[in-house]
Amino acid sequence: MDIVDNLADTDIVYIFGAWRMQDAIFARKVRQMGIPYILIPLGHISRWNIEHYLIKRIIQSVLYQKLLAKKAGCIITTSKLEDTYLKKLKWNQNIIYVTNCLYSQVTTNSETANEIWQCGNKILTSFTQEKEEKIHKITDDEIIYQILLIKNRMPHQNIPFQMVDQLHCLLKNTEYNDDELEEKIEKMKLKKFSESLFAVTMEKTGLTEGFIPFPQKVNKLSKKINKYIKF
């Protein structure tokens, strides 16, 4: 669990195995930080495994395993039996079979690793797109959209500098009415966050006060935002 402290530098997580409570606790922390994860049970979820430890497995499943599987961006199965069984359980609709080089001679270590990496890349892309689409449904204002994108990264404790730089460009190059933008931001309860974010944007990008719709504020929140920015 010590790796939880380093999750700010993580874009996606792979969890190997499916019965440890520590993994379920870890997955919950990952979800709270807005980071997608992939579950690779390694054959743990099978009819034999469940039937031979029936009472224990039922308790584990009810307490945490089903949720662990359900909330995963996808489940990677490494055997046909496991793949068939998990699809029957219907805990997760996104189940991907990857040929395991340990079980088969038709693939290699590097090919298996590459398939798993490609799954991670697809899940990360899909996760990011879904997040952006949700924010687009909230607002069609580009500046507010960018503010929300950055705010959404706060639990992750990792804000790419490009996001702040994009906000700088929007504030500098977009023609907008200060009062109207401020009113919209207030209605969305983003005023305090925006004040702090503008202070950081000015410090990091050299944006001047003439390009922000209302005064910036240097405070605890602005220091936190500043700390989370990654170049």
* pLDDT score at 109: 84
Residue 57: pLDDT band with limits 50, 70, 90: confident
> Tens of pLDDT along 145-175?
999 999 999 999 999 999 999 999 999 999 9
Strand-pair partners of 39: 15, 75
For the cut 60, the answer to whether the pLDDT of residue 204 exceeds it is yes
* pLDDT score at 107: 75
Strand-pair partners of 230: 160
Strand-pair partners of 37: 13
Mean pLDDT in residue range 221-227: 97
Neighbour tally for 150: CB within 10 Å: 22
Residue 50: pLDDT band with limits 50, 70, 90: confident
pTM: 0.88
For residue 34, CA distances in Å to 73, 131, 185, 219 come to 12, 10, 23, 25
* pLDDT score at 3: 62
